[in-house]
Structure 1
Amino acid sequence: MTSGSTAKLHHYVPQGYLRGFATGQERITAIPLDRARKPFTTSVKNVAAQTHFHTVEGHEEPDAFEKALGSVEGDAIGLIRRMQGGEFPLPEEDRMALSFYLALQAVRGPDTRRTMENLQAKITRVEVGAGGRKNVGKWIRNSLGFDATAEQEQFVWDEATQPGGPPIKFSNLAHIRHMVGTAEDLAKYFETRPWLLVRFDKRSLITSDAPVSLIAKPTEEPWQGVGFGTAWGIAFPITRKLGLLMSDPMVMIEQFELDDPRIQTVRAAAISGRFDRVETGSTKMERLFNEYSAANAREYVYRHPDDAAFVPDELPEPTLVNMEVGGFTDTEFDGKPWFPAATSPVPAEAD
């Protein structure tokens, strides 16, 4: 039994956010990274969405989480409107609420779900393959809870040890739990950074289906990667005329020892907005935002229909997962156990 109407089309980039890059009639231009497809202009309700992306089957209200997200998004859009109107820095409570919204936006897309599935598939591949063909039955019993027939054992072995691992699909509930938990952990990396609000007049910003971008330190090599805790900056285009750049907090505390109480003083000052500032947008700043927005896109770049001139010439190929694991996970298995005396580990269950 459900209460009220159930929403079917669920956005992983909020419509309220996309309206900041659309016309007054809510028209926005989508640029597919797939070169075989041409850009198109449509309503914001038609982009960055999938059918039943957050539906929890069997729940009394299957789209309860979608409605909860709508509340979080509505509050965040209200904060953005206040920033557009000149209120900055935000009060601490509002800063923390917006930080959670940004962190949530960083991990809620289909690429995050596909990455989870890809990692779990590779982990399962190693678990089964390393245990050896003769131990597949034991792995099935420990992991899946039943005694398999010979045919079932062979099927699991073939599926699990194929390149890339078995076809694993996470449920919407597992994705939701991962999304919320990860966002709660990541929010601190947003709220404790100095915030630079950049206001543009003549130039404009674009966005994408993954609008939170990490900017590596200039001294880092590309192979080193970049994370929320190590990034020189975190960039988020708020609207086509407003960008938020969260800079490296380490420059303010790197002279202190880890146990120095002054670190907590600096942290508190950052959260209070004492280091925040506003800047008029320049061509250099516009290019920084737009180049990172384009580079971080997964399948689509979005822009106002009048802002074609601000899309970088070079766009990346589509990125369906945001992290790949190679090395030993790609090992070919010959059926012999890696550790003959050991039993295969039991993987964590996915809801």
Structure 2
Amino acid sequence: MVRMTGKKSTAKLHHYVPQGYLRGFATSQERIRVVPLDCSRPPYTPRVKNVAAQNHFHTVGEFEEPDAFEKVLSEVEGQALSIIRGFANGEFPPSEENRWAFAHYTALQSVRGPDTRRTIEHLRATVVRLEVGVGGRKNVGTWIQNNLGFDPTSEQEDRIWDEATQPGGPPIGFSNLAHIQNTVETAIELTPYLATRPWTLVRFDRRSLITSDAPVSLVRRPDDEPWEGVGFATAWGVTFPLTRKLGLLMSDPMAMLEGVGAGDPRVQQFREMVLAGRIDRIQSGTTAMEKFFNTHTAESAREYVFHHPEDERYVPVNLPEPDLLNIKPMGGLVDMDFDGEPLFASD
């Protein structure tokens, strides 16, 4: 639990994409171009401080300082921005300490946004809808007793049945504290999948990179089917635009270990080589690499694409629709209507 003492002012506007990071895509006056994925909304050019932020996104009353997590994030972000500056100045590959630190920052950035919170709320609502709907109306009282811990009245049963079985499930909120706990735990789990990938630092001269409100993108394997999911353990690569002129590609470590079993000692040897930076490389940015980065960045965006005001030509033409859900349950039971009868007969 984060505990901080002393009477200090509480920050109100909390960024889920760091201001320091966004400055790498902004003008010297800290202006950045915002392109909403909602095509009915025109692009605009605000200051960085007003981008990718929500009021009290990390405020937690349980902490002695309600914005304690925001301050902890600032320390993590400060270290990461220092590492990015080092990359820009030729300090690549990073030390193993900086590699782990930046891998953790990347993992944290991938799960800290409102899309993660909305996805978890959606998945939980879907699970509740299935549990209640499959059990039938006559068993909703038992479900309430087992899951909510009280004996409901008939009116309460009716209300919970109606809310739970409506399309999309019941309105379930994910608290700031729960979101922070999930963010921290998930980032810790994901960090090794990033640190142990070979890293390629791509430097651009004539062309530029864009970024988004979800700047860490997973690249599918070439032979994956479109319907197959992709995760940090299975992705061919991970792209992360660091500045408008600098991109990081974390590639597939298994591509160099084809045919080698998991228990083979060469796997551990290769892992040690990766962590030592001996597989990393620096590459000059080409037109193909710019399009590769920018296409995946745009496809991973949830609501907004960001870019330097002079880089509009590098934004892909066909942007996706806005969507705060990064995982979607399959059809079948999820989409069915419930008529009040138990789906399965009891013994």
TM interval, short-chain normalised:
over 0.9
Question: Displacement of 1:58 after TM fit?
Answer: 3.6
Secondary structure of the residue that 1:214 maps to in structure 2? strand
- Give distance in 1, aligned partners of 2:61 and 2:136: 36
- Give distance in 2, aligned partners of 1:341 and 1:314: 51
How many residues matched?
342
The answer as to 2:336 corresponding to 1:331 is yes
Amino acid aligned to 1:119? L
The answer as to 2:58 corresponding to 1:54 is yes
Equivalent runs, 1:160-175 vs 2, <5 Å: 160-175=164-179
Contact 1:137 1:153 in 2 (8 A): yes
Query: Match for 2:155 among 138, 151, 161?
Result: 151
Contact 1:2 1:62 in 2 (8 A): no
Contact 1:122 1:164 in 2 (8 A): yes
- Give distance in 1, aligned partners of 2:61 and 2:276: 41
Amino acid aligned to 1:54? H
Measured against aligned partners, the alpha-carbon deviations of 1:306-339 in whole angstroms (never above 9, x if no partner) come to 1111111111110121111132122221212234
CA RMSD in angstroms comes to 1.2
TM-score by length of structure 2 reads: 0.96
TM-score by length of structure 1 reads: 0.95
Equivalent runs, 1:112-131 vs 2, <5 Å: 112-131=116-135
Amino acid aligned to 2:150? F
- Give distance in 1, aligned partners of 2:300 and 2:16: 15
- Give distance in 2, aligned partners of 1:320 and 1:222: 20
- Give distance in 2, aligned partners of 1:324 and 1:224: 12
Query: Match for 1:44 among 42, 45, 48?
Result: 48
Amino acid aligned to 1:279? Q
Query: 2:212 aligns to what?
Result: 208
The answer as to 2:67 corresponding to 1:90 is no
Measured against aligned partners, the alpha-carbon deviations of 1:42-93 in whole angstroms (never above 9, x if no partner) come to 1100010000001112432110001101110011001111111110000001
Measured against aligned partners, the alpha-carbon deviations of 1:158-201 in whole angstroms (never above 9, x if no partner) come to 00011110010110011111111111111111111110000111
Question: Displacement of 1:136 after TM fit?
Answer: 1.0
Query: Match for 1:183 among 174, 183, 187?
Result: 187
Question: Displacement of 1:295 after TM fit?
Answer: 1.1
Equivalent runs, 1:179-258 vs 2, <5 Å: 179-258=183-262
Query: 2:35 aligns to what?
Result: 31
- Give distance in 2, aligned partners of 1:88 and 1:59: 38
Deviates more, 1:259-268 or 1:13-22: 259-268
Question: Displacement of 1:24 after TM fit?
Answer: 1.1
After superposition, the Cα gap between the structure-2 partners of 1:146 and 1:2, relative to the gap in structure 1 and judged at 3 Å, is farther
Ranges of 4+ aligned residues in structure 1 off by more than 4 Å: none
Question: Displacement of 1:146 after TM fit?
Answer: 0.9
Secondary structure of the residue that 1:309 maps to in structure 2? helix
Query: 1:286 aligns to what?
Result: 290
Query: Match for 2:74 among 70, 73, 85?
Result: 70
Question: Displacement of 1:2 after TM fit?
Answer: 6.6
- Give distance in 2, aligned partners of 1:224 and 1:84: 36
Contact 1:20 1:239 in 2 (8 A): yes
Amino acid aligned to 2:89? G
Query: 1:261 aligns to what?
Result: 265
- Give distance in 2, aligned partners of 1:327 and 1:277: 46
Amino acid aligned to 1:200? F
Deviates more, 1:207-216 or 1:219-228: 219-228
- Give distance in 1, aligned partners of 2:18 and 2:116: 16
Question: Displacement of 1:340 after TM fit?
Answer: 4.2
Question: Displacement of 1:3 after TM fit?
Answer: 2.6
Measured against aligned partners, the alpha-carbon deviations of 1:9-31 in whole angstroms (never above 9, x if no partner) come to 00000001000000111110100
- Give distance in 2, aligned partners of 1:48 and 1:73: 15
Amino acid aligned to 1:45? K
Question: Displacement of 1:227 after TM fit?
Answer: 1.3
Percent of residue pairs bearing the same amino acid type = 63
